[in-house]
Structure 1
Amino acid sequence: MTTHCVLACIDGSNSSPAVCDYSAWASRQLQAPLTLLHVLNHEPSPAQRNLSGNIGLGSREHLLNELADLDEKRAKLMREQGSLLLEAAMERVRQAGATEPASRQRHGALVDTLAELEADIRLLVIGRQGEIGDSLGDHIGTHLKNVIRTMHRPILVTAGEFRPPRSVMLAFDNGPSTRKGVEMIAASPLFRGLPIHLVMVGADTNDAWESVRAAQHQLEQKGFEVQATIRAGDVEKVLLAYEEEQDIDMIVMGAYGHSRVRRFFVGSTTTNILAHARRPLLLLR
């Protein structure tokens, strides 16, 4: 895989078209190569795994052979389906302006595959829900939770259809992740030319404004137009209300923080925003 690429996770879910479009956008903005990844997490059929100790050998051994044949055919169909998905995705990202995209198909668990490839990933793009998760409504898929727990790269989680980003909101709590987020935005071409909304949720104090102004100044020194605000209230409600009020196109926040955002995936704010945000969420570690 090409070093320091934008890596897009493709599957048969409703999220994949947006994953293609956002990864192509990110590839252009970062001037980084784009790789599309499809992971086959194939397991033997339950019948093949469980019947061997129950049906005995001899006259029923042919049943195990038939089950093995069916499992092999199923695996072949999955590989062919994955290849077709990748072909369609490659065409879509080319039309979206990605130059010389690459594709890979791997076998195994998604999390294990991404952990293996992590050193070469600059940005991971993944859908909020996978194929199974399409029926879960606002719930977050298990695969996504595990990926975010495991990865130490920025993760762009898509939501809804693609819309070229015109504005970005950074949820700022002055914790390590969001301070790193300010540095990343300032140094990266990903959001170059876009207005930044710097939003802190908490008490309107001099100390809070001091940290917000420092972050604002850091971004403005790099040429960004920054609108800073501090709002009181529940973190999730305030951020989602601001997203709608300002018609924000992308939210940036830390996967972990030092405030109420810290309890990640244990009734956390981050999980709820992932579930309910109308636009993509860029998570920083």
Structure 2
Amino acid sequence: MTNIIACIDGSAATASICDYAAWSAQRLDAPLTLLHVLDHSRYPVAADFSGNLSLGGREHLMQELADLDAKRNRVALEQGKLMLEAARERVVALGVDGPQERQRHGDLVDTLTGLEDEMRLLVIGKQGEEHEGVGAQLGDNVERVIRAVHRPILVAAGEFREPKTILLAYDGSDTTRKGVNMLADSPLFKGLDCHLVTVGNREADLDWAAEKLTAAGHQVQTAVLDGEVEPALHEYQQSQNVDLVVMGAYGHSRIREFFVGSTTNKMIREAKVPHLLLR
């Protein structure tokens, strides 16, 4: 569990993903792997038209269709290699030493869960290539990844801005208490000012969390907000010009259960800055 894995595709988010991945790798002094996955649902390894009865016995047409799929796959494979090369050049220019490049053919989620044992942090964009040009819709694969991968996930949003301040959405739960410990111990957050925020939970032990973070060298500001979780947190983030939001991804408390079903989509969809999701 050592690598930063940055999942890239042809979306507009790729540059931001590379930049946040490079920042993370340098802060954590961890190796960086650039990953491109050819989704088999869009690029099948081999086409099978045998079940299409409308083709009848026109075997030559089936062969032409198979050849077209094979050509499409080769083009996509080469395009992926070029994207990886461009991503490598970008992160090297940012100071990352020896980034690895990997290309896989298969299901994105299966690929990432298969890499969990070597994954310290996953960096993805909030939209994939398949959702370019459709407004703020969250990519289907992004939601599936957030649900399936049990590692911290940094969801890149907007152009890169080196984080100087972070917001931890805290509710006193085990997950967010672990988040406090992670913020206190991880070099990823060393020296960053911290906003410790809870929404509608005046029973949360903010004093314990603030003391823990202050002892670790962070400047800490606490806030108890009212209202709905997503708009309250994002309004606070924007009003305080916070660079990075950290929060739990699943659970049953008011903040964490916000990341179940369509509310997961809404929180990430409305993000203007990167969100680090904890499991």
The answer to whether the superposition gives a TM-score over 0.5 is yes
2:102 pairs with 1:107: no
Deviation at 1:187, TM superposition (A): 1.1
Residue of structure 2 in register with 1:277 after alignment: 271
Q: Any gaps of 5 or more consecutive residues in structure 2?
A: none
Deviation at 1:273, TM superposition (A): 2.1
2:224 pairs with 1:246: no
Residue of structure 1 in register with 2:211 after alignment: 217
Task: Please tell me the residue identity of whatever aligns with 1:284.
Answer: L
Residue of structure 2 in register with 1:97 after alignment: 95
Task: Please tell me the residue identity of whatever aligns with 1:97.
Answer: G
TM norm structure 1: 0.92
Task: Please tell me the residue identity of whatever aligns with 2:28.
Answer: L
User: Which deviations, in whole Å up to 9, do the C-alpha atoms of 1:67-87 show, x marking residues without a partner?
Assistant: 111111111101100000000
Greater mean deviation of Cα atoms: 46-55 or 13-22: 46-55
Residue of structure 2 in register with 1:54 after alignment: 54
Q: Distance in 2 between matches of 1:259 and 1:223?
A: 28
Is 2:3–2:31's contact at 8 Å kept on the other side of the alignment?
yes
- Alignment match of 1:265 (pick from 260, 268, 278): 260
Runs of 4+ in 1 over 3 A off after TM superposition: 42-52
- Alignment match of 1:164 (pick from 150, 162, 165): 162
Sequence identity of aligned pairs in percent?
A: 50
Deviation at 1:203, TM superposition (A): 4.7
C-alpha spacing 1:218/1:39, structure 2 compared with 1 (3 Å): same
User: Which deviations, in whole Å up to 9, do the C-alpha atoms of 1:205-251 show, x marking residues without a partner?
Assistant: xx33xx11101111111111111111221111110111111101000
User: Which deviations, in whole Å up to 9, do the C-alpha atoms of 1:162-220 show, x marking residues without a partner?
Assistant: 0000100001111222111111111100010010100011154xx33xx1110111111
Across the aligned residues of Structure 1 and Structure 2, the Cα RMSD in angstroms comes to 1.8
Task: Please tell me the residue identity of whatever aligns with 1:72.
Answer: A
Is 2:198–2:223's contact at 8 Å kept on the other side of the alignment?
yes
Task: Please tell me the residue identity of whatever aligns with 1:191.
Answer: F
2:193 pairs with 1:195: yes
Task: Please tell me the residue identity of whatever aligns with 1:221.
Answer: A
Task: Please tell me the residue identity of whatever aligns with 2:259.
Answer: F
Q: Distance in 2 between matches of 1:9 and 1:165?
A: 20
2:181 pairs with 1:186: no
Residue of structure 2 in register with 1:137 after alignment: 135
Task: Please tell me the residue identity of whatever aligns with 1:55.
Answer: L
Deviation at 1:50, TM superposition (A): 7.1
Q: Distance in 1 between matches of 2:127 and 2:190?
A: 28
Is 2:36–2:84's contact at 8 Å kept on the other side of the alignment?
yes
Q: Distance in 2 between matches of 1:140 and 1:70?
A: 30
2:15 pairs with 1:21: no
2:33 pairs with 1:35: yes
Task: Please tell me the residue identity of whatever aligns with 1:236.
Answer: E
